[in-house]
Amino acid sequence: MHHYITEGYVLPNQAHIYWTTMIVLYPYITGIVAGAFIISSMHHVFDKDELKPVSRFAMVMAFAFLLFATLPLLNHLGHPERALNIMFTPNLTSAMAGFGFIYSTYLFILAVEIWLVYRTDIVHLYEHTKWPAMKAVYYVLALGVLDISKEAEEVDHKVMVVLASIGIPAACGLHGYVGFIFGAIKANPWWASPLMPVIFLLSAIVSGVAMVMICYIVIQWLNGREVDGECTHALIETAWYFLIIDVALELLELINHAYMANEDWTILKTLVTTKLFVSMFIIQILLGSVVPFFAMGAVVVFKKRIPAAARNLIGVLCGVLLLAQVGAMRWNVVMGGQMFSKSLRGFLNFEIDIGGREGLIAGIVIFALPFVVIFVFSRLLPLWGSVETFPKEWMKEKPPVRQPLKGWSKFTS
């Protein structure tokens, strides 16, 4: 049960905040999906070779988070079993109903793309595993297609590049439409902005890049492997560029509200300077934007002068700050837009529940589920580029390596 305290005059039909923690978590998860997929596509489509060490992992991360992207929405609904009605009885003029088709299409594209990327490794593991049960698992994963000739691999690669190219606008549509939903609500001056879809999309890319960067550096540290300097620098540089554009548009939107000074600006100004002061100015702007801007900017500008250890540490710390920044942005948009009354003379205060269907614990559990999927995936297939990294005790013999990463010996322990 959520508790609400009103301040000032609030209309009777606005005494409750209906979109709460789950609606904040939903665009946050889909944002990581879009950002991680962009990192993978930058290698596979645009031949950004310095991102090769994380290209597979980023694709798997996008798929894992996409599997649970709808869970916050289903958890929020009173009757989640009715969710499929939008697929069976579609309303093509509804932006919310359109999500079902965008999500399904993108999930299919990403699943096929992962299968094409890993098919050769799946066949190698099928041929060399000594466990009959695992042989059956890999045969199913290969869908019975065991041809790994050079010609077959070339076909796989061409199809994968085409799907990745299609997946880029699909990823943008998946998350940009969330901003479109908010921006199209004309009755809410905090949301009604044509910049909202673009801001949501850019912040999504920032969060996805940050999550990939944190996971890559931390996992390499935990496994005692060397962190690839070119890869880390490329991740920091990508996050920095997108952060600049994202923050510029967010500030432009806020300045536009202030400059227009409509009748709603008085209440919005009070909102951002009181209720949202910590989440907006401290977390989102100061800690989540200003600090990473200068820290990552130093890595980008003084590339040759920054020691590897310092660069990696900056990558992890700034990645955490960027995730906090995007989370605060989602909170400020979703919750801030519901805190002020349409009378423009009152506010609602919202307190996060610890338990309950939409409480903090439920949010943490949902956010942790994609990492469980990634862990299970890592037990079946290599995340970092080669079947050579897989547990040798599962193999009859050392499996042959197909197209290993350049300089792979640096990454193996």
pLDDT tens digit sequence for 196-238: 888 988 999 999 999 999 999 999 898 888 888 899 999 999 9
Q: Report the range out of 72-81, 145-154, 365-374 with the highest average pLDDT.
A: 365-374
Q: Between 409 and 357, whose confidence is greater?
A: 357
3-state helix, strand, coil split of the chain in percent (to 5) is: 70, 5, 25
Token pair, residue 222, equals: 């935990």
Range list of H helices, 146-228? 150-183, 196-222
| Segment 110-126 mean pLDDT | 88
pLDDT tens digit sequence for 167-190: 888 888 877 778 888 887 777 778
CB 68 within 8 A of CB 369: yes
Query: pTM here?
Result: 0.86
- In the prediction, which pLDDT does 168 show? 84
pLDDT tens digit sequence for 287-342: 999 999 999 999 999 887 889 889 999 999 999 999 999 999 999 988 888 887 77
Residue among 302, 305, 303, 301 at smallest CA distance from 230? 303
Beta bridge partners of 9: 345
Token pair, residue 138, equals: 């890999």
Burial tier of 53 (Cβ tally within 10 Å: 0-12, 13-18, 19+): buried
Residue among 234, 381, 255, 406 at smallest CA distance from 311? 234
State yes or no: pLDDT of 406 exceeds 70.
no
Position 409 confidence tier, pLDDT thresholds 50, 70, 90: very low
Token pair, residue 410, equals: 């640096």
- In the prediction, which pLDDT does 413 show? 32
